Every structure is written in C-alpha cells, then in structure tokens.
C-alpha cells in the first residue's frame, strides 16, 4: 500500500502506523508522523491505544490457540476442539511479557516532551493491522432515516428506527454526521420477538480476505464503535450499548431470510457492551468486539445497538459514530502435539 499524504490527519495516522508495521518508514514519513503526534493530543492517545491493543491481542491469540491445543479430545490426543471460539481477555500465566514491554516502551515514548517515534521490531511485535472495508462507518454518505429492516445486501446500514443527523448539540466523534438511535424494534423472523433494543446492521463480505490468507497466520476481526449517552447525568432508565460481530458461511444476500434465528450457525462471534445512566456531553466511549476469523467465513454481520433496561422506553440522546472493522494477523504459534 502506497501512503497517501492527502488523507485527513486521523486516517493518515492510521496509514502511517500500519506502514510502520510492514516496512521502515522514510525520513519524510517519520518526520510527518512525529509532527502529527506532537500537534494532536488525540493522535497520541489513539496511537498509544492502538499499540496496547496490539499487545493485548497477541496475548489473546496465543492464549486461545494454546487453550484449544491443550483441550483433550475423546481419543486422548491433544488437539483443537473449537479453534474459532470467541476471544476473551485473559491474564495470568499466559503473559507474553517481551511483547507487552516492547509496546509499552513505544507508548511511553509518545508522551515524552520530544517525540521520537520508534516501532518495536517485527520479531518483538508480530501483529499487523489492516483496516478492512466497512461502508460509511462515520455515517457521512447519507442523512435522515436509516432504511428499515435487516440488510439484504452488503455495504449498507439498515435496521430499527434510527437516523443519521448532522452537528447539533452533540459534536460527532468523526466527520460531520452521527447515528442517533430512535426506537427499539422487533426482529421480522422471530414470531415471539419483542421490541427490546434499537439495532442497526451492516453485512460485510469477507471473501476478498482469502487472497491474503495463509495457513501460517492467525487472524482476528475487530469491530469498534464510538457511543455516547448525551442524556443528563444519572438519567434513568439505564441504557446498554452493544457492539457485536457474527461470522457466517454462505451467501450474504440470503442472511436476512434467517436472522436472528441463525445465530447458532455462526462460525464465530464477538461482543462488547457498556451500560450508562446518562453522561451529558462528557465523552464518547469506545466499544471493541473481537472474533477469531476462520478461513471459511464468507461474511460478517456487524451490529450496533442501544437497549433501554426498562421497557417500554423511548430512546433519547443516544448516539454512535466512527464504526471501524479491522483485521489483525500474527504468525501462528508453533506447538508440538504429543500423543499419549
């Protein structure tokens, strides 16, 4: 990928960070990166979080792989029972301290008076990040009501009653528009379904990723979304925001025929949530869901939602913005299998 210096600083920062993982930056690029980190406080915190996420992800990947390999099957041989289970954050003896220390060293450098950018070597930090196509993650390409119902094609937002609005009392996290949750809705295919949460979906075709796949790497799909409860502080009822990811095999154009009754057929899933009681206009909060990416996955269902925890309740001043889908990879951990 050839860097594009015409990108806005936020996108350009992500591009330079990605490039630094795969090659040595030129002198001009390194100076540009340093200047961005010196100039923008948000850039420093974003880069620091990105590096710490990489370190945590590497631990999660290795822990998940080791856990699956250490699961005994019915024949008594150590093997992988469910290699694509949801990744959850772990601690304890599955700590890869050199990796964490390397990333932490970079983070410390970001906050020095003189910023001297230095990426840890590929041998120390094995993860690589690549931003994957999610259509209109910042809600800039349309305005007004979001199309109703579960999406019937890839690359478009649709779902329960919600709308894309411009800058008003609430400042968008990214760009000039943001998504406002309006009202919960029921799922069309669930005859016993109730209007519990306001869900917005997008189908993402994953088949192009197979061109870049390899048996020597582990991949994780990461979904992040910024959410904001702009109600006055301590407003009841509480509201829970969700950021969810489901991976399926098959034709994405047929996904609407079975959703949500086909959740049990998902090859993998990841979920993150946050419960709030109103935060005024204090700060956007980041939700991040991760899921191991099996080679046979054809598409992903991306879901962001707001659920009032007492129903029925009309939703007010609940927003989402800057939704991103990222692929992270690292070399597979070599493990020797021993048969008893």
What integer pLDDT is reported at residue 71 of this predicted model?
47
Give tens-digit pLDDT for 146-164.
Answer: 999 999 999 999 999 999 9
Q: What element of type H or E holds 145? A: strand 144-145
DSSP string, 16-85: HHHHHHHSPPPHHHHHHHHHHHHH-HHHHHHHHHHHHHHHHHHHHHHHHHHHHHTEE-TTSBEE-S-TTP
Give tens-digit pLDDT for 56-66.
Answer: 555 555 555 55
Comparing 184 with 70, the larger pLDDT belongs to: 184
Q: Which residues contact 17 (CB under 8 A, 6 or more apart)?
A: 33, 47, 50, 129
Distances (CA, A) of 85 to 42, 61, 81, 147: 34, 11, 9, 32
Hey, where are the domains in the chain? 9-126, 132-330
Find the distance separating the first CA and the last CA of the chain, reported in whole Å. Answer: 47
202, 153 in Cβ contact below 8 A? Answer: no
> What top-level class would CATH report for the domain 132-330?
mainly beta
pLDDT at 226 over 90: yes
pTM recorded for the entire structure: 0.63
User: What is the rounded CA–CA span in Å between residue 308 and residue 285?
Assistant: 17
């Amino acid at each position: 990928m050839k860097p594009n210096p015409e990108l806005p600083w936020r996108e350009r920062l992500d591009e330079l960070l990605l490039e630094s993982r795969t090659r040595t930056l030129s002198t001009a690029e390194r100076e540009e990166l340093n200047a961005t980190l010196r100039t923008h406080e948000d850039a420093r915190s974003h880069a620091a979080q990105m590096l710490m996420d990489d370190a945590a992800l590497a631990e999660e990947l290795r822990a998940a792989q080791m856990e699956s390999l250490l699961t005994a099957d019915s024949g008594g041989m150590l093997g992988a029972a469910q290699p694509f289970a949801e990744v959850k954050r772990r601690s304890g003896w599955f700590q890869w301290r050199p990796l964490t220390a390397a990333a932490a060293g970079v983070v410390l450098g970001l906050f020095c008076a003189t910023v001297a950018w230095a990426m840890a070597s590929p041998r120390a930090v094995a993860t690589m990040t690549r931003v994957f196509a999610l259509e209109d993650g910042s809600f800039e390409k349309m305005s007004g009501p979001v199309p109703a119902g579960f999406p019937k094609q890839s690359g478009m937002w649709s779902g329960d009653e919600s709308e894309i609005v411009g800058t008003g009392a609430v400042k968008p996290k990214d760009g000039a528009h943001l998504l406002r949750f309006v009202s919960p809705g029921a799922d069309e295919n669930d005859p016993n379904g109730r209007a519990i949460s306001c869900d917005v979906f997008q189908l993402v075709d994953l088949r192009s990723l197979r061109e870049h796949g390899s048996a020597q790497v582990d991949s994780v799909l990461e979904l992040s979304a910024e959410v904001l409860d702009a109600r006055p502080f301590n407003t009841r009822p509480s509201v829970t925001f969700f950021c969810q990811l489901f991976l399926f095999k098959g034709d994405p154009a047929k996904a609407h025929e079975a959703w949500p009754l086909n959740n049990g057929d998902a090859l993998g899933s990841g979920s993150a949530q946050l419960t709030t009681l109103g935060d005024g206009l204090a700060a956007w909060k980041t939700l991040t869901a991760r899921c191991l990416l099996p080679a046979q996955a054809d598409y992903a269902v991306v879901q962001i939602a707001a659920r009032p925890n007492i129903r029925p309740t009309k939703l007010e001043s609940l927003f989402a913005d800057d939704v991103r889908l990222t692929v992270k990879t690292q070399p597979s951990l070599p493990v020797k299998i021993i048969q008893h």
